Amino acid sequence: MVDIREIANRSGLLIVCSGDFDLKELYEAKINLQDRFPSIGSWYFAVVDLSNVSQLNVGAADFDRLVELDRRLSRFTRPGLPVAIIARGELPFGVSRMWQSSTDPTGWDSRVFRDRISAEVWLRDRVRAVFSFVMPALHLERASASSSG
């Protein structure tokens, strides 16, 4: 399951993936992101929460399509957009690190974390340093929990 929504007064994006999950689902959920969220260019950050993924199915073609989509989407976002990925399991963490290196051309500043608190602390620091914007509290624990269940 994939849930995508704006958070923090539309200053950022939250993507929550949960359950048995496949990268094709994420690609399909993001394919029209710039149409669904016209405010994409004003976001200060993005969070991808994979912490509730119980099984991840990764195909090379789906991975490559997702990377290419994110490279296209980056043209609509602020340069240097901080992207925090939360991945507790070994496979989601490893795939997230591969995505991180594959999307270097986007100009996004992405990091992979094992927990939501570390991700939120890093985001707050990066957003303030890069954009001089004071991010509201995200409460990622609650936001992610309400998306998954």
For the chain, give the mean pLDDT: 93
| Mean pLDDT of the region 66-88 | 97
Q: What is the per-residue pLDDT for 148? A: 47
What DSSP string runs through 91-143? HHHHHHHHHHHHTGGG--EEEEESSHHHHHHHHHHHHHHHH---PPP--HHHH
What CATH number has the domain bearing residue 132?
A: 3.30.750.24
Q: Retrieve residue 69's tokens.
A: 């989509």
Q: Which residue range forms the structural domain that includes residue 48?
A: 2-148
Q: How many domains does the chain have?
A: 1
Q: What is the per-residue pLDDT for 141? A: 64
147: confidence class by pLDDT, cuts 50, 70, 90:
low
pTM of the model: 0.92
